[in-house]
Amino acid sequence: MSTDLKDRIERRINQGLLGQWYAAAKSVQVKPGRPHGVTILGRNLVLWRDQAGKVQCLEDFCPHRGAKLSRGEVHEGNIACRYHGVILDGTGTILQVPAMPECALEGRRAIESFTVHEARDCVFVYMPNAERPTAPPFQEPAEFLDAEWEGFVCMSRWGCNYRYALDNLADPMHGCYLHAQSFTLAYGAKQDLMKLDRTDDGFIVSRVQQQGENFDWTHMVVTEPQTYCRLDIPYPNGAGPGSVFRIIGFTTPIDETSCYVFFWRMRKLTGLARQSWRFLYRAALEERHWHVLEQDREMLEDMPDDARMREMLYQHDIGVSRMRQMLTRAAKAQIAAEDAAAARAAV
């Protein structure tokens, strides 16, 4: 492989793979009547709700002179730029230039629009590329589709490349060290071996000896249109009935040095147990989970951006290595597809 291609692959991974669905905002951030600006994969986007409540997404750039549409307002389900009032619909088409009757810009599809999917209190946006220009269906994690799984989404901005967040998730062994002082995460042996099992949709990295005791495994789902993980954490005694505490995690690059993490904290519950857990979670547990997340954030933010150039991995890093391998393979495939599309277009 040429150095140039290697650099492109590395850069693509660092910026974030395209042709994937990304969590872009919590649903509550996109309030009716109010545009919401967000940056993902280095692109500025504006989200808003149309008259049916469906989230629309455009590049956050007014085609007139470039003002941010997220500074504008929602007008009958469309978005109006605050600067001179130009109105666009969710396809990026200019509907009206109110300051200039019969302006030639009207009817022009002027800016890029993005496909949106809303699930479990979160807005996901598809970032297209030449390999997959049209959004494939969002593949809901099984827990999202099962109403018995009750959960809360939380979102945080971390000042590190998203790859650090993925590496951290593919590394269950850090749990009993980094989080040693944090309630149930302190349980379990400090020594183990790790094993890796490939699945149809990615892989599971788990501790060999310790099972069902703590943060013992992670299932990394790395499919074509999306990457996320699931893991279980034992539930503290006395915190109510029900199943384990499951985390579904998505990461979204903002740029090369920051990312969003979205975590769903879920339990499988019905009836009264469900009600009481909702209450308990908000009242007592949520803060403790934030505390754990902060430990991860602080550790990762303090690592140099190029730490991987000087790492000395050992057996426990098989999940980290596999994750990187899969990202490299995906980046390589999409760059090849983009080059092929560019070559076709040039003929």
Q: Which residues bind ligand FES (CB under 6 A)?
A: 62, 64-65, 67, 81, 83-86
Residues 83 and 114: beta-carbon distance below 8 Å: no
Nearer to Fe ion, 150 or 296 (CB): 296
Min dist. Cβ of residue 133 to ligand FES (A)? 27
Which of Fe ion, ligand FES, none binds 117 (CB below 5-8 Å, type-dependent)? none
Least distance (Å) from Fe ion to the CB of residue 131? 32
Going by DSSP bridges, is the β-strand pair 94-96/87-88 parallel, antiparallel, or unpaired? antiparallel
- Which phi and psi angles does 162 have, rounded to 5°? -60, -20
Picking from 103, 102, 77, 104, the residue whose alpha carbon sits closest to that of residue 91 is: 77
Cβ–Cβ < 8 Å for 150, 266: yes
Phi, psi torsion values for 40, nearest 5 degrees: -135, 145
Nearer to ligand FES, 43 or 84 (CB): 84
Q: Does 317 bind Fe ion (CB under 5 A)?
A: no
Q: With CA atoms as reference, report the closest residue to 236 among 192, 288, 291.
A: 288
CB of 295 to Fe ion, least distance (A): 6
Distance between CA atoms of 105 and 124, rounded to whole angstroms? 30
Residue 174 Cβ, how far from Fe ion at the closest point, in Å?
A: 6
| Residue from 26, 81, 82 nearest 55 by CA | 26
Q: Which residue, 307 or 342, has its beta carbon nearer to Fe ion?
A: 307
Nearest Cα to Cα of residue 263 among 143, 151, 159: 151
User: Which residue number, 192 or 296, has a Cβ lying nearer to Fe ion?
Assistant: 296
Region from 34-42, 88-96, 246-254, 293-301 binding Fe ion, contact rule CB under 5 A = 293-301
Q: Is 296 in the site for Fe ion (CB under 5 A)?
A: yes
Q: Which is nearer to ligand FES, 63 or 202 (CB)?
A: 63
- Taking only Cα atoms into account, the Rg of the chain, rounded to an integer number of angstroms, comes to 22
**Cα-based distances in Å from 320 to 12, 170, 222, 282, 324:** 18, 5, 13, 33, 6
Nearer to ligand FES, 67 or 273 (CB): 67
Give one DSSP letter per residue of 198-250, joined into a string.
Answer: EETTEEEEEESS--SSSS-EEEEEEETTEEEEEEEEPPPTTS-SSS-EEEEEE
Binding partner of 64, given ligand FES, Fe ion, none, CB within 5-8 angstroms per partner class: ligand FES
Between 68 and 278, whose beta carbon lies closer to ligand FES? 68
Rounded CA-CA distance 41/260 in Å is 11
Residue 31 binding: pick among ligand FES, Fe ion, none (C-beta 5-8 Å cut-off by kind): none
In the complex, least distance from residue 80 CB atom to ligand FES, rounded to whole angstroms: 8
Binding partner of residue 26 among Fe ion, ligand FES, none, CB under 5 to 8 Å per kind? Answer: none
Q: Which does 296 bind (CB under 5 to 8 A by kind): ligand FES, Fe ion, none?
A: Fe ion
Which CB sits closer to ligand FES, 67 or 239? 67
Q: From the CB of 294, what's the least distance to Fe ion, in Å? A: 10
By rule CB under 5 A, what count of residues binds Fe ion? Answer: 1
- Minimal CB distance residue for Fe ion: 296
Verify binding: residue 89, Fe ion, rule CB under 5 A: no
> Could you list the residues that contact Fe ion (CB under 5 A)?
296
